[in-house]
Structure 1
């Protein structure tokens, strides 16, 4: 009974104390004038702090900058602690909202999301796409940047679900954005971004402070970075062809994931990897090679008539490094044009992410064509620079064309004698072949002498084929009717789509196809006139005649969606080739002189080289085996 009295008295006492407190608070409540004065004083103090911060190049984040109120409900705090453990603290801060922090320099405009602490928007300020829309590498959730980690109290968390506290400061001329995922005022996981003036490279460091007893370092702490590449070019299929994940590993080796379909790799000692979107790239660079990285790509263009938003999705996953129990991962990110001149400014071999071609083809581009075109385009319009570069290349290679035409002329002069040999030994094909080779060898008119110079041109042709689609300088540069030399030059649009051709008509490929038709008509006609027909062998004349029509047709279809700069090159190149051939035929070569020289060569003793001797022995052995088989049959 006494305990019940005590309890009742206690309750009454609490009620009285509470009532007194309420009465005192009511009596001491400020008047409306006092409230207005306090609010004005608070606002003046806030303005003064912000003004002082601006003078000291420090951005102050206050509760008024966010829409969400601080969590005070004890039940909510308990639920957060049960779900997030020590990281529940980050959700009680005023920054626990979906707000963004905006910074920029001369070339980049960046937004950082409080939720996840990552770059939620990346805009390239100096560029627009084919439809005059600003270039965004990241926007509207097309990227995922997340650290997956375990805690010492057996939780698995993802940074993309947690709230970071933003702070913007200055480091000299550089802008520093610090995004901190806090477990207490002095303990946190930090994303530190440093943006330099007029620079596409952003220094980025992931580091922790005081979390050695919070994050479980015995488990892998993995960084996941994925990106859906936005379409920026007029032709999505053409852009997708040059959109690939490229990486450098093992002290300088360069490799790529598949151009089409899906692909994935586990690679070691990765220095950098590039999400290349044809003319723009997002490149992650590590200060020290990353020991093990999982990468993947997926082609998102299943039907270019329907899916025209994204080209490919790239995915990267790798474990972060620890030092003394704390995360410490220094990285850099390049967000900018896939321009060799800009990428070469950095010391990380980033220009190798551009597909100049493998081996000698890439070397020709980097050592010759890129510097030459850069020089010409520095004082000439880009279309004229292409024409001048084409003329210089054709003049440089004209000796090869001369050698080819000279070989064809020799074979044409020898054709009557070669036909006579085949008629004489028509019942002995092997003997006819031996005599033919002997005559050609003595006259210095071997068919191989015309093929070898042609092979010399192949590295040049292929290097240029790789150069034009990757030449950033051609992007959105006009010439004649072409609005963009890096894209197709449509002069008409069709109401339907032709398979492998498209729904438009490009003019430069048509001109190039016409030029290559007449060039092949002239050169192949000369070859057919000089090429003797051999029994038992394919009819080369018919094959050559077929190629005269097939090659221009392939040019017409294949290049209709290609860069008009490349088609312009092939058009000018073939026109110049026709001109050079006419000059050689009409003003340089004389068939009578060639015939006289052949007769002189035939009289000279001709020593066979090792290859020719070996070929003759093989032919004799084949002839003996044939004769032996015929005897056995009889």
Structure 2
């Protein structure tokens, strides 16, 4: 090709480009049906849209060729009309779709959003699932196919159950089936994937199920909801775990397989549980901070054993429901851990004490504010022996205070001698210096367990009491025109009452506690002030509980003081002194004195260096 020919071709291309850009007639748009498939990358989740052309009279043959290329033997089922099947029991209303044979929409009947709208846990806009099968060494998304079903609307209640089947049948003996079974009550939907007679059609390569859930915002505070939203999972042969609550993108690969996983929000969960196992999984979460309608987005890419699907063992169950401990502990082992009850010790207290008492009170009382008040009295009654022992220890210290002050004055400036003589006073009087601390420490698990119980108790959700409209979140009596760092932009009255009562109780308690002196006496007031900032955005049920607990503690203190006879305590101590006059020191006292001596030596050496 010479130079003139090349120049001519370039000019022709330029003229054609100008023509099609400015003068060519517009081509009418063809309707396009889109399905979104999402996959997971190590850094984040990316979306890719795949368009499926719709056949018209003009391009039937082209469309058929495209379908044949994309779906192989399943090409005849690539087009059709979507049919919805509505199934319903006493707890949930679920819409299934014949396109893909998937769950399209789930409504929880006994719950509402914060705006008092029906609570739609998932729908087609927020949740998608795709099942990929290998046929003739090519991946086919069978969730894009149109399935046949004979049902339209079914309802069940009580002990009955209903079943719905979606099939793509190549012939009488070969078909792909999605089968669902719903009981009359509860939030569990049984799900089967059956590949019947498909040995020559579907390759012996594991299937891949991808479920993407953009978890909908249904609560009052988006910030609090995001802090409680993650993916929980139970590995095969491993311990319960989660992806964490960070707003950064999180990804976890589970090679040993899964028993179940859950898109877990603060009060609700959408989960898939395997009767056998999920071979492998990649779980991911991320947050779009610009989207206030979505709490967090999660993706689960699951590898399903193809042998199970071909032999009738592809059995699973969905859970669409509340994070209610009583309900979830009946689903599958470990599933109740979707309800956050705290670290091991706190979880034990909540599991074996708080929740049973709370559930018992629920049976007889409908007002949750009253339940909280009664719960306070029950817990304070259980802890009364420990509280009394701590109070008696402070009373003994108060009786000895004159002698302790005399020792300090006698050895002014010599801390070691002052401490030794004080310990000798304790020994002769028959007082264990730790007797006041141990009862307080033993009460801590009970007190701190409430920090997990109340904020995560779905029973308190949208339950009003006094001025609080919802005991599961903070009571807002005033919106501030500005934001105070660490405090927020609102005023919680229960939090203020709790703080004021805690300060008053601390002051009253310090009148009895003679051991606390100097800066420590002032420092004890810092904790209530910190709680004012820390708990302002916490559950109103929690701050109300601690407020009532403080009031009951005042009553206990007044009652104990009536039973404490200081003259009698002094008389007992005098008798102990006579008994212990010639008694040798215990090993604990000797070790304590050695530690005190070592500390004093280090203090003096530090002064010399200066």
Whether contact under 8 Å (2:280, 2:304) holds in the other structure is no
Give the structure 2 partner of residue 457 of structure 1.
Answer: 443
Q: C-alpha displacement at 1:151, in angstroms? A: 2.5
Give the structure 2 partner of residue 360 of structure 1.
Answer: 345
CA distance in 1, matches of 2:326, 2:199: 43
Q: C-alpha displacement at 1:432, in angstroms? A: 2.9
Q: 2:574 aligns with which of 584, 596, 599?
A: 599
Corresponding residue SS for 1:127: strand
Give the structure 2 partner of residue 488 of structure 1.
Answer: 474
Change (3 A) 1:522 1:293: same
Change (3 A) 1:188 1:609: farther
Once the two structures are superposed, the pairs formed by residues 429-448 of structure 1 within 5 Å of their partners are 429-448=415-434
Give the structure 1 partner of residue 204 of structure 2.
Answer: 217
Corresponding residue SS for 1:266: strand
Q: 2:139 aligns with which of 139, 151, 156?
A: 156
Once the two structures are superposed, the pairs formed by residues 119-138 of structure 1 within 5 Å of their partners are 119-138=103-122
Q: C-alpha displacement at 1:127, in angstroms? A: 1.4
Q: C-alpha displacement at 1:445, in angstroms? A: 3.6
Change (3 A) 1:559 1:618: closer
Give the structure 1 partner of residue 364 of structure 2.
Answer: 379
Q: 2:486 aligns with which of 489, 500, 506?
A: 500
Give the structure 1 partner of residue 163 of structure 2.
Answer: 176
Change (3 A) 1:498 1:309: farther
Q: C-alpha displacement at 1:255, in angstroms? A: 2.4
Corresponding residue SS for 2:453: helix
Q: CA RMSD in A?
A: 3.1
CA distance in 1, matches of 2:571, 2:58: 103
Asked if 1:553 corresponds to 2:537, the answer is no
Q: C-alpha displacement at 1:523, in angstroms? A: 1.3
Once the two structures are superposed, the pairs formed by residues 114-513 of structure 1 within 5 Å of their partners are 114-152=98-136, 154-168=137-151, 173-181=160-168, 186-218=173-205, 220-250=206-236, 253-261=239-247, 262-267=249-254, 268-300=256-288, 302=289, 307-323=291-307, 326=310, 328-346=313-331, 348-380=333-365, 381-426=367-412, 428-513=414-499
Give the structure 1 partner of residue 548 of structure 2.
Answer: 572
Change (3 A) 1:238 1:621: closer
Whether contact under 8 Å (2:308, 2:314) holds in the other structure is no
Change (3 A) 1:245 1:83: closer
CA distance in 2, matches of 1:554, 1:428: 35
CA distance in 2, matches of 1:404, 1:351: 36
CA distance in 1, matches of 2:510, 2:126: 53
CA distance in 1, matches of 2:443, 2:298: 37
Q: C-alpha displacement at 1:335, in angstroms? A: 0.8
Give the structure 1 partner of residue 510 of structure 2.
Answer: 524
CA distance in 1, matches of 2:515, 2:598: 29
Whether contact under 8 Å (2:87, 2:155) holds in the other structure is no
CA distance in 2, matches of 1:619, 1:429: 9
Considering only CA atoms, is the larger Rg found in Structure 1 or Structure 2? 1
Change (3 A) 1:147 1:443: same
CA distance in 2, matches of 1:622, 1:576: 41
Return 171-180 or 276-285, whichever deviates more.
171-180
Corresponding residue SS for 1:515: helix
Q: 2:587 aligns with which of 602, 610, 619?
A: 610
Structure 2 residue runs of 5 or longer lacking an equivalent are 1-53
Q: C-alpha displacement at 1:183, in angstroms? A: 5.0
CA distance in 1, matches of 2:309, 2:212: 27
Give the structure 1 partner of residue 75 of structure 2.
Answer: 88
Whether contact under 8 Å (1:146, 1:225) holds in the other structure is yes
Change (3 A) 1:345 1:614: same
Return 321-330 or 472-481, whichever deviates more.
321-330
Return 474-483 or 179-188, whichever deviates more.
179-188
Return 492-501 or 83-92, whichever deviates more.
492-501
CA distance in 2, matches of 1:557, 1:165: 59
Aligned residues: 545
- Cα shift readout 1:551-598 (whole Å, capped 9, x = no counterpart): 33333233222221111111100011112112323x122333333332
Return 478-487 or 603-612, whichever deviates more.
603-612
CA distance in 2, matches of 1:297, 1:128: 25
CA distance in 1, matches of 2:309, 2:179: 19
Q: C-alpha displacement at 1:138, in angstroms? A: 0.6
CA distance in 2, matches of 1:246, 1:71: 51
Change (3 A) 1:565 1:621: closer
CA distance in 2, matches of 1:392, 1:324: 51
CA distance in 1, matches of 2:297, 2:171: 37
Whether contact under 8 Å (1:71, 1:77) holds in the other structure is no
Change (3 A) 1:116 1:555: same
- Cα shift readout 1:514-563 (whole Å, capped 9, x = no counterpart): 11111111113433x4435xxxxxxxx32332331x33333323322222
CA distance in 1, matches of 2:110, 2:598: 71
Asked if 1:74 corresponds to 2:61, the answer is yes
Corresponding residue SS for 2:151: strand
- Cα shift readout 1:265-285 (whole Å, capped 9, x = no counterpart): 333353222222222221211
Structure 1 residue runs of 5 or longer lacking an equivalent are 1-66, 533-540
Corresponding residue SS for 1:490: coil
Change (3 A) 1:115 1:469: same
TM-score by length of 1: 0.78
